[in-house]
Structure 1
């Protein structure tokens, strides 16, 4: 009886979760229900999937509105009608300038319901009806429509469950309209009675017009949408060629053609694995999925784009031979059943990483070459802090009060009524969808038109994007292609190009010679000593410490380390156990014999996703189909608990039947459970390790070129400052941008690195382009006057270039240059200079002598670049003691010391008692790393206070050869006053 129901996907309007809507309908005895969210179909497929659970027939449609004003409702008679509605809605979502008209278009297989008050003419088409709300009934009695009852239907809207839902709705509408709740117009909100009535109450309401109830029931009876959620067959593009048979022949041909590229002497194990994989790929209907990935990457190679293929598909020899991945599953003994098995319904996962500079072109290629393509959406939901801030504004709270509430810094008993309401409703709307965004990497390529499943919107990227997320896509059998971007590949590619330019006399670098890299002693040394700053995935403080503890110097060791660092292994406590067993073979005896037999390479410790599957299968007695539930649980954070718990009891029962001790079963299950949502497949880790080896090779042999590439790709784990520092540690000289020698990006000449103009935060792109265009066309600048004559520039922009000492080639002090620039450039709109036959001579003013100091330069750099080019210890008010350095710590194990350190980065974690503790990374006065631990009491008493130098006191400890300080006190050191704002500055450091 309900033709107009809203879930909370009627964004910032509805307040009911889709499943709750079904539960309410079931409780009220309804067997059919229409979901018609406002200009949105996000919830439709999930609503249809869940409806079976509540024994309700789903009807799907859309409530078309301009703002809050309802124009009409469209209901799908069948799947074709739903497709037509989606296509129509998408027109408005693709072009925000379009308004929904008063009259609905003629769409096949669609019912149209107009609200009573909006309909002015008496003639309605066969598929069109007039919706009568309870509040319209009195007016209907005196209307001409009372004699046309065959065209009238019940229009009891459902937007809220109860009074609290209505109050929430009003708050959401105020947020949407960016207005105070007290000023929210009635026209922008629904009616408090827009709730679901019981069948009896609904009949009583419309008792004078029983025809309306019959007409409504007839419409609902005529609507039938049907989607297959069994996932027996993928709904991705069925064939890459003209047929599935020719697809398989092409896949076979490409696979066997790749053998000679990958293997010198292919053995029987290789041929056997190929045959097995091809058979299952065909049987499961995944052939086109492989071929589409192959086509994308064939294009990437033709454009000389670097990429890394990873995910569970990296366990596949077919993927390796098609050059989708660079991971050899035979060499690494990758577990076939993790990649694919007969019980697996969804295709293996390929995550393809490209340089951030290349990904957009790859996306464009996919949309050009494959039809029925769309990006996947994500639901950006209300989070606590954002909710408090938005609701605080709606209630009119002052900013200071809102700040206190968001930071939870308030005594609860002092809060006024409005503040309490803000907190109550902010908790309530947490998790509500706020707006639709774009998934970081997901693209779907469907056999059917995208609008068969969903409407699409057009975000700034300019590609059609679904209104549902990846979870719903997988439910309906649409499996995404993951096209990701990362800066690591950009660094590698740029470094290779810089090396080629700067070392043209040498043979080109073969960055794909991974076999040689694995044996390279320089790379082994970098790994063992964790000297990997700037190198993909192995540069973070945690990874740096792990590499030291493990003394990693092999490919397999790095593959394991890449997975051990993940939260699953650490959470289970097995990271520490793995390190023990790796370093001290006698500890391997502690492993359960069955686990040691299953995982000899990792000493009986579960490290990879496939280890969990093996343990569940061989130790826990689960079938591969049941073990696949664990795989799904490990693959997604949204459903991991449900997936794990569904097989937990079976695991315990099987182990008990085998006679395993209860304590052992619990220990092993706890390890399995800790992997939920966190574990890497071994092939995935191996893919990361390949890229790490490429980075390590470049760092080992061309450290300065590699650091330049790292700077130009905006770094990695650390701030730009620390990659400049790393270059210095390798003998590089860092120069501030120069108008005659610098470019947009950083460049290297011999050992001198000139930072690029892009590092100057306030310098505009158009200024950079004009400067470079003029310099390229007509040569270098000879003086400030010469620059001003040739480049149209404002005083604000040229001041940046002068302050950073970009005109140092003139030999004139920059304070004098600033005065000169202010006198010669007027604060008016700049125009391009016109070419003249004779150059007019500038007026020259006699400038006062205004010397600038090295200390002033450091503060200019801090302001314009974000960091000083000198040693930050030189900026301290009181010189650092330098009594202890990082290199001295090994001599003071177990002793308490005080040391000065420049803060690099921090990481916090929450203890079992829900208290916050920190790990810190600092640089000593010579530029070497100091690692610290700050337990909760110390973290509370001595908090971090931003960038700067800290005096650290604590106990020096060692674990597996890795040294850190357990901090007991920490104070931030004061820096000198900014000399630019201090009169009569007399103290000038000798060097900076």
Structure 2
């Protein structure tokens, strides 16, 4: 009887999930129910998938509305009707146009007009598939309506939006958030009626007892609707089935490409190589994954044609076929990559290929995929309400001032001391947490389907301009649609740009091959940087945590870096296995602690699970799960999948099989805890190996062309640290840092010999349009000769030119900046017109006699802080009191187990919690001589001093060492004051 039910995918309107709707239906003994979310089909597939478990017949449709006005409800008779609805919704969504008040003519869709809408539009003529929907509260009006005579056109339309009063309250808050208004001012027409609830099937029939024909008509519609999708474990893939339109031609092409790639990758292929290739090709063909490999090959072929750098990784990096096709640069034979992680006869899904491109090239790659293949869309993702966001939104809805909202969102309160309104914000924030707020785009996923994607869901057209399906990765995989991962990263752009700068700055040294990874692996200078953890700006190895790990491991080779890339992942550290790995790296005897089977499975990592495929090894060979079950375990370690029935069944079987093998209970649960704690975070070994390749490329550039590489780093968004840290590193390496200059600087930073000219884009308040005017004029007419010459040629406001003068962009004039500012104000007393044309005659300027001005270094420092966020001279120069001692980071070893008093400028910090939930922090600092050191603030210290913001601190603490890594356990830490801004004192 329910043809109009909403889940919380009726965004900022509905209040419970599609699963909760099924539970509600079962509770009310309703055996058939229609999910009709408002202008959305996100929940439809999972609703259909789960309905079988509840023994409920699923029906799906769409509640079409303009704003909150309900126009009609479309119910799909079958899969064709579902596609018709998705086509219609998507067309209007893409073109941002309202729905017509009259539904179009559908072939496989029932259209139900709400009674209220029929009365307003005075509709009299109905097609065979069109009906009038009557809710319980509208029955009294129907008795006196002319529409009562249309007996065969009347059906029940009892909306379902709420279960309880709490749902209704949450709904009103969501509507207020959606309308960006105070709850007290929320218009009634923007809310649903509290009567939109489900009642037992028999009860709804009693409500319509005087109109039994309405019940019959409704049941007739319910009986005629049948929708189904295949969700079984052995379902066929719905991805594009062939690359060449012919399976035999696909198979032949894949073999041909592998044959062509063999001599490039292996000059003399061994029997091991050829056997592995034969085995892979046979399985790839058998599992119908050939087109998946060929599509990935086509994508990277296009990238090669365009000269784009890329890195192929993921479980597919375990494949020799991928290596021969140049999808990846990881040799699975050299690294002994576990074949079954990449593919096995039980696996129904193709291997993962994550292909990284430069962030500058990714858009073009995406555009190519959409133009090259049919039935393409980006994968959707849901942005849900989290604690902070929910509190902020509800705080505004309840009319709280910003400072109170900030306090609540930071969790800086005692609940018992809060007033009624504040408590309501906290209580209802908990209720809406986890609800979807809006549909977004998956970080990298692209779907390439055999059939039109509207057969599965509607699509949106977000600002990026590519159609995006209204469901996420989990549902896509349930359906049999497997994504192609196309990512953008800045590391590749840094490498590419660094090479361009080298070619310009040092052409005589630019004859190296950045892809010659084998020689990089053997280079003592590069391996020395890894061993000493001097990897600032280098891809994936520059963070404080990675620096600490490399220092402790004393890693100085490629395989060690591959392991470190996975060990650093959150789960390995959380399980305690990172520490255990370090201990076993240094202590041969300790390696014997591992269970013999575990040691045999993971010899290279001393019996410790480090890589994602280790989960499969342990599950399959230790716990005797099938490879299929082992893969369920691997996939289930993160996200929604962990709570699924399939995962819980495999978990039980893992434990039972171990008991059957006779393992001790303590060992069983110890190993299970290791698996459960990190499998969702760990990398596949091939993935780590791909990252390590890129790390070696960036380390090569850092070792031999550090200034070029650091400029490229800055021009591509930096890295883990703030831009000032990379400029500081460049200074230590001999660079001279110069503020932007209107005659030399470009949009981005440039390197000329050993001088880094900061780019005009670093100036926070300088308009992009102003920068374009300066650069285009300079390109056309040459360098600027004076301030007057600049004013004559570039139409600029006094505010914009003041920014340039204050930052010394006119230093070539040899005039003091204060004098230039006076001149600019005299000559630009009005904002200039917004057109630009060369002057035929130079305007005569009045010369003014000005007093002599002076500018101090301190004044320049504060101008730089204002202009781009930091002083080039560093913050130590502007402290109120100069440091009271000269202690430095490279003296820490002399203070081992002793107290030290040292100054540090905070460059990175990480907040974390102890096992009992108390806050602690790790801080990374630059000493006054430019060297880095690390600190630990245990809970009592962090609670007392609350290390938070960047600045210079005086630190007193004890120097400790672990595996050769020195740090300071802070006892006292005090932020130092800066002098008063001399421009205003």
Q: TM-score band, normalised by the shorter chain? A: over 0.9
Aligned CA distance change for structure 1 residues 635 and 19 (closer, same or farther; 3 Å): closer
Q: Is the contact made by 1:637 and 1:677 (CA closer than 8 Å) also made in structure 2?
A: no
Question: Is the contact between residue 795 and residue 832 of structure 2 (CA under 8 Å) also seen in structure 1?
Answer: no
Kindly report which structure 2 residues correspond to 1:489-528, keeping only aligned pairs within 5 A, or say none. 489-528=492-531
- Which has the higher mean CA deviation after the structures are superposed, 919-928 or 130-139? 130-139
Alignment correspondent of 1:878: 881
Provide the residue aligned with 2:682 in structure 1. Answer: 679
SS in 1 for 2:344: coil
Displacement, 1:661? 2.5
Q: Is the 8 A contact 1:591 1:604 kept in 2?
A: yes
Partner secondary structure for residue 509 of structure 2? coil
Greater CA drift, 385-394 or 431-440: 385-394
> Counterparts in 2 of 1:321-720, with a 5 A limit?
321-634=324-637, 636=639, 638-639=641-642, 645-720=648-723
Residue equivalent to 2:744? 741
1:925 to 928, 931, 937: 928
Q: Give the stretch that moved more between structures: 860-869 or 631-640.
A: 631-640
CA displacement at 1:299 relative to structure 2? 0.2
Contact 2:447 2:481 in 1 (8 A): yes
Paired residues, number: 981
Q: Is the 8 A contact 1:517 1:693 kept in 2?
A: yes
Which residue of 2 is the match for residue 985 of structure 1? none
| 2:161 maps to 1:159 | yes
Moved more, 399-408 or 9-18: 399-408
Q: Distance in 2 between matches of 1:725 and 1:933?
A: 24
- Alignment partners' CA distance in 2, 1:542 and 1:852: 42
Residue of structure 1 in register with 2:100 after alignment? 101
Are positions 1:187 and 2:189 aligned together? Answer: yes
Alpha-carbon deviation of 1:914?
0.5
Aligned to 1:146: 148
Pairwise CA distance, 1:945: 4.3
Shift, 1:630, TM fit: 1.8
| Cα offset, 1:752, TM superposition | 0.7
Q: Per-residue deviation at 1:636?
A: 4.6
SS of the aligned residue for 1:166 comes to helix
Partner of 1:88 in structure 2? 88
Cα pair 1:562 1:688 within 8 Å, conserved: yes
Matched with 1:859 is 862
Residue among 203, 206, 218 paired with 1:216: 218
> SS at the partner of 1:211?
helix
C-alpha displacement at 1:362, in angstroms?
Answer: 0.3
With 442-451 and 597-606 compared, the bigger mean Cα shift is at: 597-606
Counterpart Cα distance in 2 of 1:420 and 1:569 = 38
Shift of residue 897, structure 1, vs aligned partner: 1.1
1:118: which partner in 2?
A: 117
1:55 paired with 2:58, answer no
Instruction: Indicate if the aligned counterparts of 2:793 and 2:839 stay in contact, CA closer than 8 A.
Output: no
Q: Which residue of 2 aligns with 1:207?
A: 209
1:593-627 per-position Cα deviation (integer Å, ceiling 9, x unaligned): 22221111111111111112112222222221221
- Aligned pairs for 1:813-832 (under 5 A) are 813-832=816-835
Q: TM-score, normalised by structure 1?
A: 0.97
**Conserved 8 A contact 1:746-1:756:** yes
Q: Are the equivalent residues in 2 in contact too, given 1:789–1:833 (CA < 8 A)?
A: no
Contact kept in structure 1, 2:796 and 2:831, CA below 8 Å: no
Once the two structures are superposed, what CA deviation does each residue of 1:246-272 show, in whole Å capped at 9, x if it has no partner?
A: 111111111121101111110111111
The Cα of 1:81 is off from its aligned counterpart by 0.6
The match for 1:226 among 220, 225, 228 is 228
The change in CA–CA distance for 1:205 and 1:483 in structure 2 (over 3 A counts) is: same
Summarize deviations over 1:51-72 as a string: whole Å, max 9, x none: 0111111111000001111101
- 1:89-142 Cα deviation digits (max 9, x unpaired): 01221122x111110000110111001122213221000001112222222222
DSSP-derived class of the 1:821 partner:
helix
Match 1:257 to one of 256, 260, 268 = 260
**The 10-residue stretch of structure 1 (686-695 or 642-651) with the greater mean CA deviation from structure 2:** 642-651
Q: Deviations over 1:298-351 (max 9, x none)?
A: 000111100001111110111111111000000000000001111112111111
**Cα shift at 1:628:** 1.4
Q: Distance in 2 between matches of 1:848 and 1:45?
A: 77
Equivalence for 2:838:
835
Normalised TM-score (structure 2): 0.98
| C-alpha deviation, 1:640, in angstroms | 6.8
- Which residue of structure 2 lines up, in the alignment, with residue 135 of structure 1? 137
* 1:723 and 2:726 are equivalent in the alignment: yes
Query: 1:528–1:553: 8 Å Cα contact kept in structure 2?
Result: yes
- Root-mean-square deviation (CA, aligned residues, Å) is 1.4
Structure 2 counterpart of 1:31: 31
Aligned partners of 1:710 and 1:775: how far apart in 2?
A: 26
Q: Residues of 1 paired with 2:300 and 2:10: CA distance?
A: 39
Deviation at 1:279, TM superposition (A): 1.2
Q: CA deviation at 1:652?
A: 2.9
Cα distance in structure 2, aligned partners of 1:573 and 1:7? 41
Per-residue deviation, residues 549-580 of structure 1 (Å, max 9, x unmatched): 11111110100010111122211212112112
Gap change, CA 1:640 and 1:716, over 3 Å in 2: farther
SS in 1 for 2:5: coil
Q: Secondary structure at the match of 1:505?
A: helix
Check whether the contact 2:633–2:651 (CA below 8 A) recurs between aligned residues.
no
Consecutive unaligned residues of structure 1, counting only runs of 5 or more, are 983-992
User: Is the Cα–Cα contact under 8 Å of residues 588 and 603 in structure 1 kept in the other structure?
Assistant: yes
Q: Secondary structure at the match of 1:981?
A: coil
Aligned partners of 1:29 and 1:353: how far apart in 2? Answer: 51
Q: Which moved more, 1:417-426 or 1:157-166?
A: 417-426
Distance 1:496 1:51 in 2: 57
CA distance in 2, matches of 1:686, 1:618: 24
Which residue does 2:74 correspond to in 1? 74
Aligned to 1:894: 897
Which structure 2 segments of 5+ residues have no match?
none
Determine if contact 1:859/1:868 at 8 Å carries over to the other structure: yes
- Measure the CA separation in 1 of the matches of 2:657 and 2:140: 68
Shift of 1:503: 1.8
1:791 equivalent to 2:794? Answer yes
- Cα distance between partner residues in 1 of 2:218 and 2:948: 65
Assess if the C-alpha contact under 8 Å between 2:889 and 2:933 holds in 1. yes
Aligned partners of 2:953 and 2:747: how far apart in 1? 34
